[in-house]
Amino acid sequence: MAVKGVSLSVKQGQIITLIGANGSGKSTLLESVCGLLPDWKGEITFQGTPLKGLDPPAVVRQGISLVPEGRLVFAPISVLDNLKLGAYTMYRKRRHAEVSQTLEKILDLFPILRQRAKQPAGTLSGGEQQMLAIGRALMSHPKLLLLDEPSMGLAPLIVEKIFHTLEMLRNDGITILLVEQNAQAALQIADFGYVFETGNVVLQGPATELLADQEVKRAYLGKDYGEFYDDNR
């Protein structure tokens, strides 16, 4: 069992981050939220609706979108069609006009995707694919955006750009649950954070407090014991 006895809440209009090392159960938690993991005990509610037993498409229809680990863009399909597939549930609700509006908005948000619209998604760089994955997730008009390790394998400059975009999205009213190993970057944009360790929440608090926390600094912010003791003096 990867996650046990965890309770957390995500407030509307905030960026909440889950940080922790590999295998601490962060991704498992996300998978349970978006219906990829069928068997779990407990309770997950979204705006008062229990999510138990819903499959991923049903969760998407509830207004929750996942940007998966490893991005999982449809490599042979064009960038534009990748985005349109993100709006599958919207098209099925016959909201075509809204879809074209959202599409324009996303292409404005990530101008590089507009340039590459006709290219197969597999030909994009890692950072561009991450942008595409986020754009695709936004196409379904989510109220809550889940991101699983969006910074993985990306250059610091790109990470900064992507995280800046997340802040913009939050300011637009989208709630964001960000799972990250890159604690530094995540805590800088987050409002509230949870620290995971072997399937448990070991620490929680406002992001600014976590950033200043000695224990977090030691374990997750890349400061070794030397610096840690220096800080104390």
* Residues in contact with another protein by the rule CB under 8 A: 34, 36, 55-57, 60-61, 65-66, 68, 72-77, 81, 84-86, 88-89, 91, 136-137, 139-140
Q: How far is the CB of 155 from another protein (least distance, A)?
A: 24
Q: What's the rounded Cα separation, in Å, for the pair 17 and 147?
A: 9
Q: Which is nearer to another protein, 38 or 153 (CB)?
A: 38
Count other C-beta atoms under 10 Å from residue 2's C-beta: 17
Q: How far apart are CA 66 and CA 84, in angstroms?
A: 16
CA atoms of 72 and 166, how far apart (whole Å): 19
Q: CB of residue 210 vs another protein: minimum separation in angstroms?
A: 29
**Shortest distance in whole angstroms from residue 92 CB to another protein:** 8
CB nearer to another protein: pick between 8 and 75: 75
CB of 43 to another protein, least distance (A): 22
Chain centre to alpha carbon of residue 175:
10
Eight-state DSSP code of residue 4: -
- Minimum distance of another protein from residue 156's CB (angstroms): 27
Residue 37 beta carbon to another protein: minimum distance, rounded to whole angstroms:
12
With respect to another protein, which residue has the nearer C-beta, 29 or 201? 29
Q: What are phi and psi of 70, to 5 degrees?
A: 80, 5
Residue placing its CB nearer to another protein in the complex, 143 or 223: 143
Query: In 3D, which of 62, 135, 56, 125 has the Cα closest to residue 93?
Result: 62
Nearest residue (CB) to another protein, 23 versus 76:
76
Tokens 């507009």 correspond to: 114
Q: How far, CA to CA in Å, does 3 sit from each of 11, 28, 95, 161, 199? A: 21, 7, 38, 31, 4
CB nearer to another protein: give 15 or 139.
Answer: 139
Spatial separation of the C-alpha atoms in residues 5 and 199, rounded to whole Å? 8
